[in-house]
Amino acid sequence: MFVVDNVLQAIGRTPLVRLNRFGRHTPATIWGKLEYMNPGGSVKDRPAFQIIADAEEAGLLKPGGTIVEATSGNTGAGLALAAAIKGYKCIFVMPDKMSEEKIRSLRAYGAKVIITPTNVEPEDPRSYYSVSRRIANETPNAFYANQYHNQSNPRAHYLTTGPEIWEQTGGNIDAFVSAAGTGGTISGTGKFLKEQRKDIRIIAADPIGSVYYDYFYTGKMPPAHSYKVEGFGEDFLPSCMHFEFVDEVIRVTDKECFDACRKLVREEGLYTGGSSGGAVIAAVKYAERINKPMNIVVILCDSASRYLSKIFDDEWMRENGFLSEDPLGATISELLAKRPRHAVHSATPTDTILSVIENLKARSISQVPVLDRGRVVGIVGERDLLSFLISGGDPSSPVQDIMKSDFALVEPTNRISMLTQFFTRDLTVMVVDDGRVLGIITKIDYIDFVSHR
C-alpha cells in the first residue's frame, strides 16, 4: 500500500499508459505519462516543490513568507499545494485567457489571484510577468518563484521525471515528446535521457503563435501573437528552455490540440487538457514521418477538469470555430504537388544586394529566402530592394542589411488551414523539410488550390 506522511510525498511516480487509438496507423507505440495524476493535477507539482525546497535551503524563503508567481495556473496550483503544507501565503498573477476553473482552484487554496491582459508585450508593465515582479518587490518577506528563469524548474525533471521514464521503459525509449512552456519539463527530462542514451530524440510541441518553432529553426525571434490553447508556448525565451537538449520542434494548431484532448478523454479514457493534446499530436506527426517501430513517451501535462468551461464546452468550441470539421483537410504537400514545380533559389547574408537583384531578374522571381548554414534567417523581395535603392543605399552592401524576418515556416505535412493564420498577418510562407526550402507559398497559390477543392 502506498502511504505517505503528507501530500507532497505523493508527487511523482505517475503511471505510464499505452495509447491504443492514437498512432495505431503507424509502426510506433505511443505511451502517455499521466502527470495529471499528481496531487495538484499537473506536471508542475514537480518543479513547484523543487523551487520551494531549494529556496528554503538557500534561505530565500523564510517562515511566514509569501510566494509570488506569474502562472498560467498549474505551477500556481503546485506552489499553493506546498504552501498549504508549509504555512506560506501565495499571490499569483495570471493572464486573462486562462480558464475560470484555474482561477477558482487557486483561490480555493487561499491564494490571492490577480488577472492581467494577455495581448501585451512581456516588458509591458501590465503583463503578468511585470506585475508579478513588481508585487514581489513590494511585498515584505516575499519570494518570487520565477519559474521561467529558476533553474530548480528543469532540475526537478532531471531528478524525477527523467529517471522515472527511464525506469518505467526499461531504457527502451526512442523519443520523448513534451509541450514546451517554461522549458523546464523538456529540458530537465531531455538532459537526463540524453545522458542515458544520446540517440533518444527529444521533441518539443509548440503552438502557432509561440516563438519557439521559428527561433529553433532560424535563430531569429519572430513576433509572437495570441493563441487559444493554454499552458505552453511563449512570447519570449525563458532561460529554463535549454535548446541544447532538444532535437526538433513540431508545431501544432489550436484546433489540433483541442480535437486531440477531447479524443483522448473519449477514446482513451485519459482525462487531460489541451497541451497534452498538442503533445500527442506532435508525437503522432513524428511517428508518421519516421514510420518505423519505436517507443515514444509523451507527457500528459494536466487535468481536463481545468478546461470544462472551454475545450469541453461545445458552445465555447463552436463560438471559437473549433467544433466543425476542417474543410481544408489537405496538406501543404498536396498544394505543392498541384502547382508547377520551380527550383528554389536563395541568397546568403553576405551576398551583395546587386547580386540578389541580378538573381531575381535572371530567374523572373520576386523574392528569395536568405539562408545561413542551412537555416532560414530572412527573406528579401522586390519591395525591400526598391526601398533601399530609393533611399540611396549602396548596391554592394550585404543583403543581411535589408533582409526581413516577416516570414513563417511550415512543413509539408502541415494542414492547409494553417496558412490562413499567416496570410492574415501578411507573412511570407516558406515550406521547409529537413533544412531544405521546398518552396514559397503565395496567397494566390492558396486561393487557387482552395477554389478548386
CATH of the domain at 98: 3.40.50.1100
Specify whether 64 is located in the same domain as 131.
Answer: yes
Q: Where is the domain boundary, 93, 122, 144?
A: 144
String of DSSP letters for 70-90: E-SSHHHHHHHHHHHHHT-EE
- pLDDT of 347 higher than 50: yes
Specify whether 26 is located in the same domain as 55.
Answer: no
Q: How confident is the model at residue 303 (pLDDT cuts 50, 70, 90)?
A: very high
Contact 205, 179 (CB under 8 A): yes
Q: How confident is the model at residue 323 (pLDDT cuts 50, 70, 90)?
A: confident
**Between 326 and 397, whose confidence is greater?**
397
**Helix 74-86 crosses helix 100-108 at what angle (to 10 degrees)?**
10
Contact 128, 230 (CB under 8 A): no
Phi, psi of 67 (to 5 degrees): -90, 125
Q: Which of 43, 141, 126, 31 has the alpha carbon at shortest distance from 90?
A: 141
Contact 27, 288 (CB under 8 A): no
The per-residue pLDDT of the chain, averaged, comes to: 92
- The percent of residues above 90 in pLDDT, for the chain, comes to 66
**Residue 3 included in any domain:** no
**Residue 287 included in any domain:** yes
67-81, 233-247, 292-306, 325-339: range with lowest mean pLDDT: 325-339
CATH assignment at residue 415:
3.10.580.10
Specify whether 162 is located in the same domain as 298.
Answer: yes
* One-letter amino acid for residue 353 of the chain: I
Distances (CA, A) of 410 to 276, 350, 415, 422, 446: 22, 25, 9, 10, 14
Spell out the residues 6+ positions from residue 368 whose beta carbon is closer than 8 angstroms to its own: 345, 346, 347, 356, 359, 360, 379, 380, 381
**Between 334 and 66, whose confidence is greater?**
66
pLDDT by residue (tens digit) across 249-280? 999 999 999 999 999 999 999 999 999 999 99
**Residue 238 included in any domain:** yes
Q: What cell does 119 get?
A: 495581448
Specify whether 176 is located in the same domain as 285.
Answer: yes
Q: What is the pLDDT of residue 327?
A: 61
C-alpha torsion angle, residues 315, 321, 325, 331 (rounded to 10): -150
- pLDDT of 1 higher than 60: no
Specify whether 336 is located in the same domain as 301.
Answer: no
Spell out the residues 6+ positions from residue 176 whose beta carbon is closer than 8 angstroms to its own: 165, 186, 189, 190, 193, 200, 201, 202, 203, 296, 297, 298
Contact 281, 257 (CB under 8 A): yes
Q: Which of 65, 98, 35, 104 has the alpha carbon at shortest distance from 302?
A: 35
**Residue 153 included in any domain:** no
Distance CA 303, CA 369 (A): 42
The length of the chain, given as a count of residues: 453
Specify whether 173 is located in the same domain as 279.
Answer: yes
Q: Looking at residues 344-369, what average pLDDT do you find?
A: 89
pLDDT by residue (tens digit) across 199-241? 999 999 999 999 999 999 999 888 878 899 998 999 899 999 9
Q: Where is the domain boundary, 264, 293, 319?
A: 319
Cell 520523448 -> residue: 176
Distance CA 201, CA 286 (A): 10
Q: Which of 352, 366, 359 has the alpha carbon at shortest distance from 395?
A: 352
**Residue 224 included in any domain:** yes
Distances (CA, A) of 163 to 54, 84, 204, 301: 20, 28, 19, 17
What does DSSP say about strands 248-252 and 142-144: parallel, antiparallel, or unpaired?
A: unpaired
**Residue 383 included in any domain:** yes
Specify whether 131 is located in the same domain as 181.
Answer: no
Specify whether 208 is located in the same domain as 278.
Answer: yes
Q: Where is the domain boundary, 275, 290, 319?
A: 319
Q: Which domain holds residue 421?
A: 332-451
Q: How confident is the model at residue 397 (pLDDT cuts 50, 70, 90)?
A: very high
Specify whether 170 is located in the same domain as 258.
Answer: yes
Q: Which of 438, 439, 437 has the alpha carbon at shortest distance from 374?
A: 437
Spell out the residues 6+ positions from residue 167 whose beta carbon is closer than 8 angstroms to its own: none
**Residue 66 included in any domain:** yes
Specify whether 344 is located in the same domain as 438.
Answer: yes
Specify whether 70 is located in the same domain as 93.
Answer: yes
Q: How confident is the model at residue 435 (pLDDT cuts 50, 70, 90)?
A: confident
8-12, 171-175, 311-315, 381-385: range with lowest mean pLDDT: 381-385
**Catalytic positions, written as ranges:** 44
Burial class (CB in 10 A: 0-12, 13-18, 19+), 132: buried
Distance CA 348, CA 346 (A): 7
Spell out the residues 6+ positions from residue 155 whose beta carbon is closer than 8 angstroms to its own: 50, 54, 188
The domain tally of the chain equals 3
107-121, 323-337, 406-420: range with lowest mean pLDDT: 323-337
Specify whether 55 is located in the same domain as 93.
Answer: yes
**Residue 4 included in any domain:** no
Q: Looking at residues 16-43, what average pLDDT do you find?
A: 97
